[in-house]
Amino acid sequence: MKSKMNIKSIVIMAVIGIISLFFINMSFAVSTAKVNVETANLRETADENAKILELLSMNETVEVIEKTGDWYQVKARGITGYLRQDLIKVEETTTPNEAVENKAEEVAQENKVETKTEEKEIDLGKQRVVEDTKLKIVPVINATDIIEVKKDEEVEVTEIINGWACIETKTTKGWIRKEKLKKEEPKTEETKQEQPEETKKEEVKQVSKTLYVNSTSINVRKEANTSAEIVANLPVNTAVEVIAETNGWSQVKVNGKEGYILSSLLSTKKQETSRSVAQPRTEEKAKETTSAATPVASGKGSTAVATAKQYIGSKYVYGGSTPSGFDCSGFTSYVYKQHGVGLNRTAAGQYSNGVAVNRSNLQPGDLVMFGKSGINHVGIYIGGGMMVHAANPSRGVTTDTINSGYYNNNYVGARRVM
């Protein structure tokens, strides 16, 4: 046991030494900042036209390395790059000596606590993460984050040192606190019987009623998700027989076929098709409901709106442009590609597509652009002051008003591409 504790002490002292050397050689202060726009481009160099390394979300924290003119060199998600100074707000600063002292004190304190009692053994091998947590490059609280490990992700534990576990994910290796892990328990008859209780939230509700398609050209899918195979395409006011409802989807029978339609795309009454009459309807977003008076889309843009609404609830993925995950411009590009319209890949690039439209003359299907300095976000206008867009990683594809809050204050312009 003494030998084991001596090894631990040597490892801890080595870590302190490495951290001390690293910070002593630093000639600048360690600062943090938060992104103050909806989406910020982390670029390879301090140049507006430089390669984009990553897309960062509003309120995301980054580590500031140094300031170069109107740019900050920062580290975010383990990637070093550059952000314009107007895209972030610097929050706090500590000197290199303070950083060394703080880290050394934390490591020493951890070591002191752990040596009071014999450390509990944790099985190596397969474990599960109990909550979302950052993977550290070294076993120190303030060490650099590599990636975020998600709750319930299975990892391989290769080593335990002083309350820290060295783990391997599918893509990388690093350290997290041992209390963030739990042993993978084999399923027993008891847990198998309890499992249905955990899935009651997605219980299928058997119904029998007739509803009507309330949007132009919607898809009937083989399964209840926006990535599933399309089995039919229905025009507005088509009558469908709903036989079950589950998790925001309706299982339907129509024209001898069975499939699934988002429940928000069905109504109890037929829609008024005259272009001169506006029809209020309710947009159902994933895990939340927002009521908004929205006119039925008309003209060529209405087909794009109907397609876009089918992906409400899809995930937000940086650089994504498929139903498995979208970013803002990837979403608009994908939607319009389905209708034979090619768009530039970035939000700023799409501002050169189509023709300019005054805000007072917006029509469903128009692209709407936003940004504090330049354009960094784009959505599809659906009418009634609302747009559908890939918002951010926490909200995914959803709908929002453009007439209040961030989008109202940072509206740049609109383009008509159909």
One-letter identity of residue 248 = G
- How far is residue 177 from each of residues 117, 182, 239, measured CA to CA in Å? 17, 11, 56
Find residue 206's DSSP bridge partners.
Answer: 244
User: Which residues have a catalytic role annotated?
Assistant: 328, 377, 389
Cα 149 to Cα 74, 166, 280, distances in angstroms: 22, 13, 43
